[in-house]
C-alpha cells in the first residue's frame, strides 16, 4: 500500500481507516470534512512533511514509502536528522549526496541539519498517518520512544532548548505601536496589534477570523466571540469564548473601522495602493506585520505573531495577575503551556527572591 495521505493535490486527505468500506461519493465528503476541519497552515505543514518522508525514503532506502513503515526505517530517519556525539563533534548520518538531492527536489530548503522541533513534527505526521489507517505505528514502539527520550535529554544537556519567539511585553509593544502612523495601513496595524495583544494574545488564525459579525459593540468597547480555536476545535459554547476589546484597543479598532468604512465581513484587510481597502488578511500577514513593525522600531530579537501571545502572558505574570484569569483570556487548555511564560514574567517581582531585603546586614564588625 503506497502512502497517499495528503498527496500532491491540495484536496486530498487521509481517510480514517483503510478497512472501512466507503463509497466514492462518501469518501469525497469525508475528505472535504477533514480539509474543512483543519487549518490551511496545518494542511500545508502535513503535506510538506509527507512529501519529505516520501523523498527521503526513496533516496535513502531506495524504495517508495509504503505503510506500515518498519521501526528500523524510523530509527534511520532519526539518526539521519538528529545530531549525535562523534569524535569530530556533533554528527548526522544523512549522506551529503542524499542531502543535496533532497534540496534539489525542493522538499528541503537548504542542506544541513533540521531543528529538533522539525524532526519531531515529521515523526508526529508519520505517526498520525499510521493511526488514521489503523496500522501498527512504528513511532510508538519501545525502541523509537526510548531513542526519542534520550534525544531530548541529550539536547537539553547541550543547552539546546526549543527556539521561542521573543515576547512582546508592554515596553516593546509600545515601541511597535509608535511606528504606526495615521495612514490606513498605520491605523490597521495599530488596531490589529492591540486587538491581538489586549484580547488575550490571540493566535494569528484567530485574528484574521475576526469579523463585524462576531465582534459586536458592547458599551464603550467590543466583544469578540471566538467560536473556534486551537483548543476548542468543536466550537463548543463556553463562557470564555467572549474576549473583551476595551480601552486603547477599542479606540484603535474604532478608528480603523471608521477610516476603512468597514461595516461587514472581515475586520482586518489588505490596504492596496491608492488607499483601497480590499480582501481580508491571511494568517501569514499577521506575522509579517509584527516583523515589519519590530524592524521599524529597531527591536533586537526574533519576533513573530506568537510574540503577541507570549508577551501578553509574560506581562500579565509581571503585573501579578492570577493564572486562572490569564487562561480565561488566552484560552489555554493546559496550565503547562502557559505557566512558563507566567513565571518568567513574575520572576523579578517574586517575594521569595527578596527575603533578605529589609534584614539587618550581618557584616563582620557590626
Could you tell me which residue, 116 or 76, shows the higher pLDDT? Answer: 76
pLDDT of residue 45: 81
Q: Calculate mean pLDDT across residues 290-297.
A: 95
* 273 and 181 fall within a common domain: yes
Q: How many CB atoms lie within 10 A of CB 65?
A: 20
Interval 257-285 mean pLDDT = 94
The CATH number assigned to the domain holding 92 equals 1.10.150.130
Query: Are 319 and 344 members of one domain?
Result: yes
Task: Give 359's pLDDT tier (boundaries 50, 70, 90).
Answer: low
The C-alpha cell at 139 is 513511532
- The pLDDT, as a whole number, for residue 350 is 60
Residue 355 in domain: no
Which of 16-20, 286-290, 315-319, 333-337 is least confident? Answer: 16-20
- pLDDT at 331 (0 to 100): 83
Do 141 and 178 sit in the same domain of this protein?
Answer: no
Least reliable range by pLDDT among 68-77, 178-187, 291-300, 350-359: 350-359
Per-residue pLDDT band at 147 (split at 50, 70, 90): very high
pLDDT tier, 321 (very low <50, low <70, confident <90, very high otherwise): confident
Whether residue 40 lies inside any domain: the answer is yes
In contact, 167 and 311? CB cutoff 8 Å? yes
Do 185 and 146 have their domain in common? no
pLDDT confidence of residue 17: 35
Integer Cα distance of 5 and 39 in angstroms: 16
Residue at 226 is within a domain: yes
- The pLDDT assigned to 6 comes to 34
Residue 220, classified by CB atoms within 10 Å of its CB into exposed (0-12), middle (13-18) or buried (19+), is exposed
* 185 lies in the same domain as 215: yes
Residues 332 and 234 in one domain: yes
User: Distance between CA 35 and CA 13 in Å, rounded?
Assistant: 7
Element housing 271 (H / E): strand 269-272
Specify the number of domains making up the chain.
2
What span, in angstroms and rounded, lies between the C-alpha atoms of 146 and 148? 5
Q: Are residues 73 and 212 in the same domain?
A: no
The DSSP code for 64 is -
At residue 206, the pLDDT reads 92
Residue 335 lies in a domain: yes
DSSP code of 276?
Answer: E
Check whether 79 has a pLDDT greater than 80.
Answer: yes
**In the prediction, which pLDDT does 364 show?**
55
Could you tell me if 143 and 217 lie in one domain? no
Residue range 228-234: mean pLDDT, rounded: 49
Give residue 30's pLDDT band: very low, low, confident or very high (50, 70, 90). very low
Grid cell listed for 152: 531530548
pLDDT computed for residue 346 by the predictor? 56
Which pLDDT does position 23 carry in this prediction? 42
Which has more pLDDT, 228 or 27?
228
Q: Pick from 42-56, 160-174, 220-234, 279-293 the range whose average pLDDT is largest.
A: 279-293
Query: 193 is in which domain, residue-wise?
Result: 170-349
Amino acid at each position: 500500500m503506497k502512502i497517499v495521505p495528503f498527496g500532491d493535490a491540495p484536496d486530498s486527505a487521509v481517510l480514517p481507516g483503510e478497512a472501512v468500506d466507503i463509497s466514492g461519493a462518501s469518501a469525497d465528503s469525508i475528505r472535504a470534512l477533514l480539509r474543512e476541519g483543519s487549518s490551511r497552515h496545518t494542511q500545508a505543514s502535513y503535506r510538506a512533511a509527507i512529501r519529505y518522508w516520501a523523498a527521503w525514503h526513496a533516496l535513502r532506502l531506495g524504495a517508495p514509502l509504503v505503510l506500515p513503515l518498519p521501526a528500523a526505517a524510523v530509527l534511520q530517519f532519526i539518526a539521519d536528522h538528529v545530531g549525535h556525539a562523534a569524535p569530530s563533534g556533533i554528527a548526522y548520518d544523512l549522506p551529503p549526496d542524499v542531502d543535496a538531492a533532497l534540496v534539489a527536489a525542493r522538499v528541503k530548503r537548504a542542506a544541513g541539519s533540521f531543528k529538533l522541533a522539525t524532526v519531531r513534527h515529521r515523526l508526529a505526521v508519520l505517526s498520525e498517518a499510521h493511526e488514521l489507517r489503523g496500522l501498527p505505528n512504528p513511532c510508538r514502539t519501545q525502541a523509537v520512544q526510548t531513542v526519542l527520550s534520550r534525544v531530548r535529554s541529550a539536547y537539553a544537556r547541550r543547552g539546546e532548548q526549543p527556539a521561542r519567539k521573543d515576547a512582546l511585553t508592554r515596553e516593546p509593544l509600545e515601541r511597535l505601536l509608535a511606528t504606526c502612523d495615521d495612514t490606513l495601513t498605520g491605523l490597521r496595524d495599530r488596531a490589529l496589534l492591540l486587538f491581538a495583544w489586549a484580547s488575550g494574545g490571540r493566535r494569528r488564525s484567530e485574528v484574521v477570523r475576526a469579523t463585524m459579525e462576531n465582534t459586536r459593540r458592547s458599551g464603550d468597547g467590543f466583544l469578540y466571540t471566538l467560536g473556534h480555536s486551537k483548543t476548542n476545535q468543536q466550537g463548543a459554547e463556553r463562557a470564555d469564548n467572549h474576549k473583551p476589546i476595551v480601552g486603547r484597543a477599542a479606540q484603535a479598532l474604532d478608528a480603523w473601522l471608521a477610516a476603512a468604512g468597514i461595516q461587514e465581513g472581515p475586520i482586518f484587510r489588505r490596504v492596496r495602493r491608492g488607499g483601497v481597502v480590499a480582501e481580508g488578511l491571511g494568517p501569514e500577514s499577521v506575522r509579517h506585520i509584527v516583523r515589519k513593525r519590530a524592524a521599524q522600531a529597531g527591536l533586537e530579537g526574533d519576533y513573530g505573531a506568537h510574540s503577541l501571545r507570549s508577551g501578553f502572558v509574560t506581562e500579565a505574570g509581571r503585573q501579578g495577575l492570577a493564572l486562572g484569569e490569564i487562561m480565561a483570556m488566552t484560552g489555554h487548555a493546559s496550565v503547562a503551556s502557559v505557566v512558563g511564560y507566567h513565571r518568567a514574567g513574575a520572576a523579578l517581582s517574586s517575594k521569595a527572591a527578596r527575603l533578605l531585603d529589609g534584614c539587618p546586614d550581618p557584616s563582620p564588625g557590626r
